[in-house]
């Protein structure tokens, strides 16, 4: 099963009010194991960057009301592609994989708004799995932010000084595996030659083409038959 653990950074909270995506980061999982394949892009939002949003992710100092050169860890956006230039490649990367997102309604709202504006196919909401909802159900009444879950599962997030889509998706991948029972929750039993080769996930063992030879000798078989005969007609082994 292919899954994409995904995160976005934006200029605000509402695409219908003019807010836009400025960063997408994603990590690919196959049968709950990271493949090493990632997707990461910064996006020119074609608008200014609010100070409040900049304080969260530190992206786009050149788009502030008072623009300035970037400091260490900050990324400029005027030279980055607009969403319409990367949207089709992003949609192709996602495909029909399940999207694992923390607070999925937020990111899906922005992704589908951007896809709609460029005339690309939207991503069905049912394709997304919300780890925030999973965490709240599993730990009712407890903090369910990404930082809180990292503390709960002893996941190192010391590099998370500012929000960043790729770093957050990498951290979320670890959190997600813990939420569903740790790495390899099914002990790898879902992995098969056909699924590794891309042949699908519905694998069942097939009968052997040639049955294995019996390990019982003729003397053992004769001794067993003699023992069963002594038990009479009601013996379990005589029932069909």
What is the CATH number for 119?
Answer: 3.30.420.10
Given this model, what pLDDT does residue 164 score?
A: 85
Q: Domain containing 54: what range?
A: 2-196
Residue 170 falls within a domain, yes or no?
yes
Q: Please, what sign has the CA dihedral across residues 114, 120, 124, 130?
A: negative
CA torsion sign for 199, 200, 205, 207 is negative
How many folded domains does the chain comprise?
Answer: 1
Is 41 inside any structural domain? yes
Annotated binding site for substrate: 7, 9, 52, 57, 168
2-10: strand order across its sheet: 33-42, 21-30, 2-10, 98-101, 128-130
Beta-carbon contacts of residue 52 (< 8 Å; ≥ 6 apart): 12
Axis crossing angle, helix 165-179 with helix 131-138, rounded to the nearest 10: 40
pLDDT at position 195, please?
Answer: 40
Residue 235 belongs to a domain: no
Residue 229 inside a domain? The answer is: no
Provide the pLDDT for residue 223. 81
- Residue 191 is assigned to a structural domain of this protein: yes
Would you write out the chain's pLDDT as a tens digit for each of its 240 residues? 999 999 999 999 999 999 999 999 999 999 999 999 999 999 999 999 999 999 999 999 999 999 999 998 789 999 999 999 999 999 999 999 999 999 999 999 999 999 999 999 999 999 999 999 999 999 999 999 999 999 999 998 877 656 789 999 999 999 999 999 865 544 444 444 334 334 444 444 555 566 666 667 777 778 877 877 777 776 666 665
What is the structure's pLDDT at 196? 37
Q: Has 88 been annotated as catalytic?
A: no
Residue spans of beta strands (DSSP E) within 66-203: 98-101, 128-130
Q: Which residues are annotated as a binding site?
A: 7, 9, 52, 57, 168
pLDDT value of residue 190: 42
**pLDDT of 118-130, one tens digit each?**
999 999 999 999 9
Domain assignment of residue 228, yes or no: no
From the candidates 40, 88, 102, 163, give the one annotated as an active-site residue.
163
- Identify the bridge partners of residue 24 per DSSP, sorted by sequence position: 8, 41
Binding residues for a divalent metal cation: 7, 9, 168
Q: What are the angstrom distances between the C-alpha of 33 and each of 149, 174, 182?
A: 19, 10, 11
pTM > 0.85: yes or no: no
Within a domain: 103: yes
Looking at residue 63, the DSSP 8-state letter turns out to be G
């Amino acid at each position: 099963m292919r899954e994409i653990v995904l995160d976005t950074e934006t200029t605000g909270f509402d695409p219908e009010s003019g807010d836009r995506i400025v960063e997408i980061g994603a990590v690919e999982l196959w049968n709950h194991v990271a493949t090493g394949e990632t997707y990461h892009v910064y996006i020119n939002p074609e608008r200014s960057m609010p100070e409040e949003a900049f304080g969260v992710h530190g992206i786009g100092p050149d788009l502030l009301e008072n623009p300035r050169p970037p400091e260490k860890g900050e990324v400029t956006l005027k030279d980055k592609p607009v969403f319409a230039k990367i949207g089709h490649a992003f949609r192709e990367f996602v495909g029909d994989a399940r999207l694992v997102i923390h607070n999925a309604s937020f990111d899906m709202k922005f992704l589908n708004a951007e896809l709609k504006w460029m005339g690309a196919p939207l991503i069905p909401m049912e394709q997304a799995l919300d780890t925030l909802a999973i965490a709240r159900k599993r730990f009712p009444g407890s903090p369910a932010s990404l930082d809180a879950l990292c503390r709960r599962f002893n996941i190192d997030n010391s590099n998370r000084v500012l929000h960043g889509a790729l770093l957050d998706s990498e951290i979320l991948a670890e959190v997600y595996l813990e939420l569903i029972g740790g790495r390899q929750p099914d002990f790898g039993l879902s992995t098969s030659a056909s699924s590794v080769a891309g042949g699908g996930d519905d694998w069942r063992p097939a009968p052997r083409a040639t049955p294995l030879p019996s390990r019982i000798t003729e003397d053992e078989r004769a001794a067993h038959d003699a023992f069963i005969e002594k038990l009479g007609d009601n013996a379990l082994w005589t029932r069909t």
